Amino acid sequence: MNAFNDPPVVFRWFSAFAAVIMFLICAVNLFSALSCIATGRATYTESYRGIVTKQEEVTKEKEPKKYNDVISQSWAYATWTGVLCGVFFYFFRKIE
């Protein structure tokens, strides 16, 4: 067996570890989005180049645009981390 034909076991277990971490992040994002929908309240953050400049509590009735931005961003993060979880799990299953 050639060393270049057999991928190291480290890559396989790194993929499993990354899949678990992405799953946990996805679950937290889903919980955040669902709790915002259930309560009708969300925390809107404004940032400049990755630095949070302002945080404010918004409600569905008072500021629907900011509230919808928070909800859609939470769903987008959850979807993205779910896709990454699937990709890492796929790599874990394919690398043997």
pLDDT value at residue 9: 77
pLDDT value at residue 78: 93
Q: What is the pTM of this model?
A: 0.77
Model pLDDT for residues 49-85, shown as the tens digit of each residue: 777 677 788 888 888 898 888 899 889 999 999 999 9
pLDDT value at residue 4: 57
User: How many angstroms separate the CA atoms of 78 and 22, rounded?
Assistant: 9
